[in-house]
Amino acid sequence: MGIKRYGVLLGALLLASGAALGAHHSFAAEFDANQPIQLRGTIAKVEWINPHTWIHLDVKKPDGSTERWMIEGGTPNTLLRRGLTKASLPEGTEILVDGYKAKNGTNRANGRDLTLTDGRKLFMGSSGTGAPRDGKDASEK
């Protein structure tokens, strides 16, 4: 344990520095690599908050009932700068989520990949914004 802690600390010391790769918090501490999950649902709402956005998803279960899930995304500031607005992810949009379940057993997951039902990956945008198409992006014309 001592060695492990020392290692973590050393890592933290190195990372505190400004190496240009850090997120706000540890995802591996929050989500479980051993519990990959796939969800298909419709967007109920998007929490447009720092340090991370949360997409609320209504997922239909086999018995017909609906379960609410929360999917962690990136900082809204970056999304805004990339041209995404609240209108980009309207309620009712159906998406597929490929991610990892929260360790705490609640209906939370991180969104490793978010895909629209026609197969387009949400936010992958190497051209344009990558946001759902709304006719505003040059790449759509």
Partner 1 sequence: MRDKNLVLFVALVSVLLGPSTLIAQNGSAGAPPAKPYTTPKTPWGEPDLQGTFSNRTITPFERPANVNGREFFTPEEVAAMEKAAASRNGDEGRNKGTRGDVERAYNDFWWDRGTKVTTLRTSMVVDPPDGKVPPLTEEARKRQADEAKRPAFRGAGANGRGTDSWLDRSTFERCITRGLPSAMSPTAYNNNYRITQSPGFVAIQIEMLGGTRVIPTDGRQHVNSSIRQWMGNSTGRWEGDTLVVETTNFTDKILYRGAAENLQLVERIKRVGPDEIEYRVTITDPTTFTRPWTLVIPYVNTGEDMFEYACHEGNYGMEGILSGAREEERKAAEAKKGSPQ
Residue 23 CA: distances (Å) to CA of 20, 81, 85: 10, 17, 22
Binding of residue 69 to partner 1 (CB under 8 A): no
The pair of three-digit structure tokens given for residue 68, joined into one six-digit string: 């609410």
Burial class (CB in 10 A: 0-12, 13-18, 19+), 114: buried
Binding mask 6-45 for partner 1 (x = CB under 8 A): x-xxxxxxxxxxxxxxxxxxxxxxxxxxx-x---------
Nearer to partner 1, 96 or 108 (CB): 108
Cα dihedral 123, 124, 128, 132 sign: negative
Nearer to partner 1, 3 or 64 (CB): 3
Task: Work out how close the CB of 141 gets to partner 1 at its nearest, in angstroms, rounded to a whole number.
Answer: 21
Residues that bind partner 1 (CB under 8 A): 2, 5-6, 8-34, 36, 47, 49-52, 54, 70, 72-82, 100, 102-106, 108, 110-114, 121, 123-126, 130
